[in-house]
Amino acid sequence: MSNAPTHSVHSAIATGPLLLLLFLLFGCLAPGAAFAVDGYDQLGFRTISDDCGPFFIGKYEAQDTSIAYCMNQERPGPTKPGGPWLNFDQGWVWLDDEFAAIVCHGYPTTTSFDGYHLSPDRARAATQLAVWMLNGTTHVDGTYSYTTAQGKTKSGHFTADNEVVAAARWLHDSAKSGSIKAAPHRARRYLGAVSGGSKRQDMLYVLPAVSVSFQKQSANTVITSGNNTYQFTGATFDIFESASGARVGTIKMDSNGRAQATLLPNTAYYLVETKAPAGYVPRHDRIAFTTGNDGGRVVIDEQPGTINLRIVKLDAATNAGPQVGSSLAGAEFTCVSQSTPGWAQILTTDESGRAALADVPLGTFTIYESKAPEGYLPSNDSWTYTVGADQLGDSGVVEIESRVSDIPIAFNLEISKFKDYGNSDQSGLEQPAGGVVFEVVSNSSQQVVGTLITNIYGFASTKDQPEAWFGAGKRPAGVHGAVPYDRAGYTVREVPETVPEGFKRAGEWTVGANQISDDAELQYIVDNHALSTHLQIVKRDAQTGASVPLAGFTFQLLDSNHEPVSQTCWYPAHNVMDTFTTDATGTVTLPESLVPGTYYVRETSAKEPYLVGEEIEVNIPADMNLTPVAIASYYDHAATGNIRIVKTDAIDGSSLAGAVFEIRASGDIVRPDGSIAALDGETVATVTTDETGEARAGNLPLGSGTARYEVVETQAPAGFLLDQTTHIVDLTYADQKTPVVEARLNVSDDYTKVDISKVDASGEQEVEGAQLALYGPDKTEIDSWTSSDKPHRVEHLAPGTYSLREMMSPRTYDLAEEITFEIKDTGEVQSVAMKDAPIEIKGQVDKRQELVQPIEKGLLANGDGKNRAAMQTNTDGLFSYTIDARNDSTTWVDEFTITDDLECAEDDTARFVSVETPVAIGDLNGLCNVWYRTTPLDSTDVDEPANATLDDGHENPWLESDEVKESLGEDCRLVDYDGWRLWKADVSTTESTTLEAEELDLTPNTVVTGIRIEYGAVAADFTTRSDADSWTRDDLKDEHDDLDDAKAILGTDARGAIVHMQATSAYTPQTALTNSARVDLCRNGGGDKLESHDEDRVIQRCTLLQDLPATGSVPIAACITALLTSGAAALWFARLRSTPKKR
């Protein structure tokens, strides 16, 4: 789009190594047909400048400072650069087409396209080219061709910057393919008449926007952390504007639950979930949020779906309630999630045998019975369930009921009945008594639950009755006896009617609960011998109380003096023994009976994983109701394991406190009795390292002898990386005298290391002296430093997104834009570089003059024969100068000053009348100060308060530095203001102000001999004349830079100063009208490449009106005039060289 007033296109031509930039003048004003209108909001547009990126492409903006792009390449822009706002109120439409996709994904949304990282101006140029590529006037190879409204064909190619063309091509191709799409309600097209005009505007307008980040997170991370059933990927929300209810966009979450949206600042919105994330409860509410000036972050809590687990505990015999004397209450079940690492909960049944657990994670989980209720065997089974996210309904809860049957603890009774024919002195012969009936009575219910009848051998056993069941219900499969556990025990009594004739009824006896163990066989010999009983030793686990069904435990029986007792065994072979060994049921019954007295049982050897226990005392009472068999339960403690974790720094080996580890079972850990000590993946301990870097996980079960554990670090010490390794530790039983086996595990944690460099534009040279600050993901400052000749290392940063901000650049470098970077989860050294561009200050001044008609009679202008413009027609000596200046630097400056040394006023050849102040583009605060100087100097001592460098609102820490203040003084200005007086402060730079010399009320002998315009800080594109060609013309510094009419050349968007003068009678052939102007600009206090000074001088002369001879008198007269004025020129050069500066 062109902003030039007349010509539109110049082809770029490469001549040898010199590549001429393409001067492309683009247009937006075009007639068009009516279109459907979405709104009639009035909005102003204007052209900022003709220079955007490497090409002379117009930069356009809307009045709300938003970016705008022109649709039509062949038409002029809305205004001349910096011109007034042109308002459009004929309507606009929302765009969601390919044009909208380009402007929404181009500048200012980003400056990087397909790997091309561009400056803002270059990114803006690429976006504009992509629009024209889509419109067909520019082609994807960078060539262009179009026909103007006048029917002329224009063509050429963009060759100044291939990266910009490539970036534009990527934007164009991506929009065409659909890989980038427009953001709803972000792009508008204004196609309507200029207010008060007839031409139509065709502009693409990108609404001002901020980037809003959305973070979806679990409302219950305890159950979702590490569980892949819960997935944020694909969760979708529609975004609505609260005020209008209009849908303005859609976001889709990534795997981390993150999404970005570009929205309007300071606007209220709400989200509506259209697709719930996998595993989470669908939301039906509106999630309200409001954007700020810088976007913001919206956190969305999602309620995870869960499982309600119900367990119903049943008796395997009744398939319902418990046995008499037993209970289904107190059963403990452990629920372990295999999907959520470390999650485990315990349920306990109530009196009805029921237990419930809410908030069980989705995925796979297993339950097992970790403690059986009273009177029952723990189930050795485990039950695994898998519930996927697809099974989750709108309620967000999946109901699961597990009915678990437990087998009652049961034992067998064996009774041997004999007839006794002996007397008190000797027993005589014993004969078996058959047909004797014994009743088994529950002491809880006082009911007979079963009977045993002796056979002809006097023998009766429940083992001989495979279907016998002395409890409620039917005998369940897998039960190990016919008589179930009863907490009150049983009474066994002989039925009187069945007592052998001639014999007395044997006394009844009690089987106590302490005698009952699963699969025990209680053997009773019933006769009238002297009081005695057989001793049965039952091996039990000290932790669970259950019998240990292992053969091989050996015991000795000791008398009251702790001496071993030997007994004789006749079956299967005659053997005298003093050591007794358990069978596979974990029990041993001594072969001979014991008379009442005190005995001791000593364990001589244990089986893994048990330890040899202490001696226990056994008392056989002298009781007529002494039972035929006495039970001695011998409890052994199992050996346990201890894992000692030593945590160190991977670099220096120092101890690290605060590391948290979980110890998890690696495979099911099962005790010898078949009960589960820990399920695969179950967390059995959580420990934290202390100041010595150590942590111990103790009391770890060894299962049946060897247990394998996983040690997983779940929380690293502050500033360190989490160790991702799963460490395997095997704990193995040592021997029966070693209570604890220990394994040591050394774990070292690394930490992040990032080298941050401040480098020059080449990226190779470290830049010293930059003050940098590092900010964390929450925008809090983490570290600050001054760059040196080596990278600055920062350690112990948590992985995440960080920002690097330059607070103060080195004096000779420009302040870099803030950069963001990712710290990865690695101990490898990472590198980040911020580039600083060197500052090079340049400026230009251009002074031009009108040619005055001398007021003295007999004088003519053009005394040197070099005049290039017409002489003024007025006879009162009035004429004008123009002064233009621009910042030709790569950056902004602190101080920009235009000084007009009115030499002709000081020489009294002209007097100063007035000045019209410039209209400038790029002044940062829109105000300037105007100063004047007089001859003679005003001796009044006045402290002038105005200082545009310090008071214009811009901040530069270098101006506060001692280095700059020592160099320039407290006012921090490069230009010296001695002898200068403030004429007017805070003069607008967006409109011209006329200041008359008469306003100064000077004394008659005092004349103005200098004026100065002080701007303070100005932008890189500061100028009082936006026509770029005019700054490169050949006669820019010509002493006869003459004008016909000063005001005729002034632009509408920007204009230079006009200095009005009046020649005096002292303007003669012996004198000259000499005038000069200079511009002084600097940054960071000035110095090498930090300051620039440019000067421009114009001169005109007059000559005598006389008849000259044909021999060349006119040239001779001109030479004489030149010689007469050469002295003045020499004085001017001397004065120019001695212009006062602070340095």
Task: Look at residue 1141 and tell me if it is in a domain.
Answer: no
- Would you state the pLDDT for residue 563? 92
Question: What CATH number is given to the structural domain containing 298?
Answer: 2.60.40.10
Q: Are residues 908 and 1050 in the same domain?
A: yes
- Of the three residues 269, 302, 335, the one that is the final residue of a domain is 302
Average pLDDT of the residues in 1106-1134: 45
- Of the three residues 583, 615, 635, the one that is the final residue of a domain is 635
- Would you state the pLDDT for residue 197? 55
Q: Are residues 178 and 92 in the same domain?
A: yes
Q: Are residues 823 and 873 in the same domain?
A: no
- What is the number of other CB atoms lying within 10 angstroms of the CB of residue 1046? 19
Q: Are residues 310 and 369 in the same domain?
A: yes
- What is the number of other CB atoms lying within 10 angstroms of the CB of residue 379? 21
- CA angle, corner 931, sides to 928 and 937, nearest 5? 170
Task: Look at residue 1126 and tell me if it is in a domain.
Answer: no
Q: Are residues 709 and 743 in the same domain?
A: yes
Q: Are residues 555 and 471 in the same domain?
A: no
Which two three-digit tokens encode residue 1012? 């100065």
Q: Are residues 240 and 369 in the same domain?
A: no
Over residues 73-108, the pLDDT tens digits come to 877 677 766 667 777 777 788 888 999 999 988 888
Global pTM reads: 0.60
- Would you state the pLDDT for residue 924? 86
Task: Look at residue 521 and tell me if it is in a domain.
Answer: no
Beta bridge partners of residue 112, listed in sequence order: 117
Task: Look at residue 468 and tell me if it is in a domain.
Answer: yes
Q: Are residues 1066 and 964 in the same domain?
A: yes
Over residues 851-895, the pLDDT tens digits come to 999 999 889 899 999 999 999 988 899 999 999 999 999 889 999
Q: Are residues 31 and 166 in the same domain?
A: yes
- Would you state the pLDDT for residue 42? 74
Q: Report residue 56's pLDDT band, with 50, 70 and 90 as the boundaries.
A: low
Q: Are residues 194 and 214 in the same domain?
A: no
Over residues 737-750, the pLDDT tens digits come to 999 999 999 999 99
- Of the three residues 352, 378, 406, the one that is the final residue of a domain is 406
Task: Look at residue 978 and tell me if it is in a domain.
Answer: yes
Which two three-digit tokens encode residue 92? 């606009």
Q: Report residue 422's pLDDT band, with 50, 70 and 90 as the boundaries.
A: very low
Task: Look at residue 824 and tell me if it is in a domain.
Answer: yes
Q: Give the whole-angstrom CA distance, residue 839 versus residue 812.
A: 5
Q: Tell me the torsion sign for CA atoms 706, 707, 710, 715.
A: negative
Q: Is the model's pLDDT at 514 over the cut of 90?
A: no
% of the chain with per-residue pLDDT over 90 = 56
Q: Are residues 766 and 819 in the same domain?
A: yes
Q: Are residues 872 and 1000 in the same domain?
A: yes
Question: What CATH number is given to the structural domain containing 449?
Answer: 2.60.40
Over residues 306-356, the pLDDT tens digits come to 999 999 999 999 999 999 999 999 999 999 999 999 899 999 999 999 999
CA nearest neighbour of 1045 among 806, 837, 870: 870
| CA distances for 1001 relative to 252, 900, 907, 908, 983, angstroms | 72, 21, 21, 19, 11
Which two three-digit tokens encode residue 644? 């000692």
Mean pLDDT across the chain: 86
Range of the domain at 348: 306-406
Task: Look at residue 1115 and tell me if it is in a domain.
Answer: no
With b for 16 or more beta-carbon neighbours within 10 A and e for fewer, the 1124-1139 pattern comes to bbeebeeebeeeeeee
Long-range contacts (CB closer than 8 Å, 24 or more residues apart) made by 4-11: 4/50, 4/76, 4/1027, 5/80, 8/74, 8/76, 8/148, 8/154, 9/154, 9/155, 9/156, 10/156, 11/155, 11/156, 11/157
Q: How many domains does the chain have?
A: 8
Average pLDDT of the residues in 599-605: 94
Strand order in the sheet with 895-901: 981-988, 927-935, 1007-1014, 895-901, 1073-1082, 1091-1100
Task: Look at residue 162 and tell me if it is in a domain.
Answer: yes
